[in-house]
Amino acid sequence: MKSIVVLHHLLLLFFLLFSHVSSWKKEEFRNCNQTPFCKRARSRKPQHCNLIATDVTINDGDLVAKLITPNRFEQNPDQNSTDFQPNPLILSLSVYQDGILRFKIDEDPVYNPPKKRFQVPDVVVSEFVSKKLWLQRYTKGVIDGDSGESFFVYLFDGYEAVVRSDPFEVFVREQSSGKRVVSFNTHGLFDFEQLRVKKEGDGWEERFRTHTDSRPFGPQSISFDVSFYGADFVYGIPEHATSLVLKPTKGPGVEESEPYRLFNLDVFEYLHESPFGLYGSIPFMLSHGKSHGTSGFFWLNAAEMQIDVLGTGWDAESSIVLPSDQKRIDTLWMSEAGIVDAFFFIGPKPKDVVKQYASVTGTSAMPQLFATGYHQCRWNYRDEEDVKNVDSKFDEHDIPYDVLWLDIEHTDGKRYFTWDRVLFPHPEEMQKDLFSRGRRMVTIVDPHIKRDDNYHIHKEASKNGYYVKDASGKDFDGWCWPGSSSYIDMVNPEIRSWWADKFAYSEYVGSTPSLYIWNDMNEPSVFNGPEVTMPRDALHYGNVEHRELHNAYGYYFHMATSEGLLKREGGKDRPFVLSRAFFPGTQRYGTVWTGDNIAEWEHLRVSVPMILTLGLTGITFSGADVGGFFGNPDTELLVRWYQVAAYLPFFRGHAHHDTKRREPWLFGERNTELMRDAIRVRYTYLPYFYTLFREANVTGVPVARPLWMEFPYDEATFNKDEAFMVGNGLLVQGVYTQRARDATVYLPSDHTWYDLRSGTAYKGGKTQKVEVTDADIPVFQRSGTIIPRKDRFRRSTVQMEDDPYTLVIAVDGSGSAEGELYIDDGKSYEFKEGAYIHRRFIFSNGKLTSVNLAPLTSKFESDCTIERIILLGHTTKSKTARIEPSNQVTDIELGPLQIRSGVRSSVLTIRKPNVRVSDDWTIKLS
């Protein structure tokens, strides 16, 4: 009998695993009509909400009000009656520095709701809380046509927040003109379903396919409208495989009627140009337009969310009269649970908004330098011999790389923190061998734990009660790669600390200081669960239902893993942890990628707006699997993918185990050369990338940027997403079609753009048609910028450490340019104590000056020098340049723009000035 049960389990596991790796099945996932809270919210008409704000006071530095339904509220309503009347809600509104308004709406605890609604912890950084501006007073007034008063508080730099009492509304406007910026409940679509005690006969259960959700507290969804004024387009709310601009999902003429879904799911071979939610969720939307600029809205909520972008005319039947002189975009936000914990970001510039958001959720962690290089991954490198062979082939073909990855097959039966001792008998020696050539290794650690009484992780977790529970209170048992699995309850800080301890060398036997971690399947993925994830009525720490925190589960797992690597090294070295699932705040703990994409041209194309959107919403260190995870790319596609991905923040090749091997040397000598050149380009620009990662770490401004972030007044850039900026200096135009012989690229106005293949100058404000070959893609340097490079080819970042720098100066119309260079030790946290070099280079009137931006007390030094200075757009008859304070003279002559195959160009070059990057100096053209 036992053998029959085992056979049954094996057959079930085989079925689940097979179905998991087959193509995406639309019917396995819910649409809005199959999601009751979404269907209800979408059916409501404008002016549905009849709440009014009363009893407005200042309490603890906040403006506080009750939201009541007039003439319907009884002082002590009978919650057991069939005609239950809602209790008042509590609104609290807070003002923070730099133009941020936060407001919360929750049930009033005075009326003893069945339980406390979940508020997402550990996302808002502590530094933000200290930036609260404690309100002392408000002013009152009547807005034209209103029957009740409105309440005004000063927000920031000529803006004020307004709480309108009847009808209830919250908005921000310019004090002088009265023009609105962003508003909440302008169309009266706010609805807040309150928790209730389940009684006999209440039919609250929801069913989807073979699964039933018990919903013990009844419907508890929240929905509301948000309007952005002066907006031409809206962006954000990843993760979706769509264009950068969010297209209307509801309204006249809208064919695609599904909202943008935010619900972290294990979606394989996902469709491009779809509003379907993928692996991560960030409920943060930005608007941008020529008249106002940029503003943003963020809802801190971890439950499933659906968001409609409402097309023009969606409210044609409404009698609401809104200001007619302001273009606006209306949106509808719907969530299954939680509270309203919302933020308005006033901008008004694009970088202002991303900085404001970063001040709430944190800036990106500063990566180790090795992590910004190229990563080689596959499911799976078979054994130690395979690892050694792949590593040696990179050297044989002179291709640089920094990290080699191992997927799930390296473990002992999918037991994480273990090794298959037949295939990987000497893991420490393997890692040390890689590290001897300056390379690292990454292994995978997922949240599903094999239910095996002989597995130490399971034994401890089971004994200590560290697993997520099912609705009955037992350890949740689902199916994933190991078969029967349970899932660590990462919401509990104590459990996160326990998990972090598992990365100690004594616990993770076979690990070394050069081993880093990859968190996959952390949405969480449950092969036999509803929509391939955990049931919504599963229970977490504090009796919180999974429905309330689903989108944050992977975030807490990522957090705990990152903390583990930090603990392992005594807090000295920066962790590297890649995560598939993400949530606001993920940027503080590591890197993400866009999941299980496909080897298709359209997936290459859509990877760019996906990564740009992640950057806009805080996660700058992101990338897509080069070549596509599923399928076998044709050689041209693979080459083009390398050429684009070399300029994106996270650069990793990865593939499914059913695909053909695709290491760069397997496609013939010419294609090996092309992929080698693409990877070398990345290493050439690592000084620039690392400087940009530091900028992201300090300010929140992303490394890869949409054109409109740098050119907010150039309307032609607002909906462009095939080209992107790397920092403020490089414009990259991908090639996304087969056998392309030219590419069309819009170069933003008011600048000259220098083609970095030839040095040719193009005038901005025009769409240019430029020739392309198989050797590269169009990349342009913006006039007025100085970009640092390292032009010597090495096997990894470690060998580049002492190499000299090249500066590429592209002058503007006045003959000027500026740029920066940031250097630290590339691994530790000593930069936080001021141990770094930060230089600003200024070129003006034929003179280049290096200015110190680092603290004068900085103890970090470098003997690296400037080897070459390239001048683009500068005309001079000078043959020499004088260096001060050394009073040396060096030559100016024609030299190559790039040192790589197939690039033939000669540009003005100051040769071997040999000034130290850490010193103050000037170089004057004679």
Q: Between helices 553-568 and 493-501, what is the axis angle to 10°?
A: 40
**596 an active-site residue?**
yes
Among the listed residues 825, 820, 826, 822, the one whose alpha carbon sits nearest the alpha carbon of residue 840: 820
Among the listed residues 289, 92, 97, the one whose alpha carbon sits nearest the alpha carbon of residue 181: 289
Q: Residue 854 is inside which H or E element, if any?
A: none
> Which of 193, 213, 269, 520 is flagged as catalytic?
520
> Which of 239, 336, 596, 776 is flagged as catalytic?
596
Among the listed residues 888, 885, 891, the one whose alpha carbon sits nearest the alpha carbon of residue 909: 891
Round to whole Å and give the CA distance between 82 and 196: 11
> Which of 106, 523, 673, 755 is flagged as catalytic?
523
Q: Residue 660 is inside which H or E element, if any?
A: none
Alpha helices, DSSP H, located in 503-623: 546-549, 553-568, 601-616
The set of residues, in sequence order, having a beta carbon less than 8 Å from that of 831 and lying 6+ positions away, is 366, 824, 825, 860
Round to whole Å and give the CA distance between 921 and 890: 14
**What is the residue whose two structure tokens read 């001021």?**
834
Q: Are the C-beta atoms of residues 724 and 856 closer than 8 Å to each other?
A: no
Round to whole Å and give the CA distance between 724 and 704: 7
Q: Between helices 427-435 and 384-396, what is the axis angle to 10°?
A: 10
**548 an active-site residue?**
no
Q: Are the C-beta atoms of residues 291 and 230 closer than 8 Å to each other?
A: yes
Upstream peptide bond of 167 is cis (omega within 30 degrees of 0): yes
HEC secondary structure over 505-524 = CCCCCCCCCCEEEEECCCCC
Round to whole Å and give the CA distance between 171 and 322: 13
Structure tokens, 632: 């076998």
Round to whole Å and give the CA distance between 719 and 726: 17
Q: Residue 569 is inside which H or E element, if any?
A: none
**Strand ranges (E), 311-430:** 328-335, 340-345, 374-376, 403-406
Structure tokens, 780: 């342009």
Q: Are the C-beta atoms of residues 135 and 58 closer than 8 Å to each other?
A: yes
Round to whole Å and give the CA distance between 893 and 875: 12
**396 an active-site residue?**
no
Active site residues per annotation: 520, 523, 596
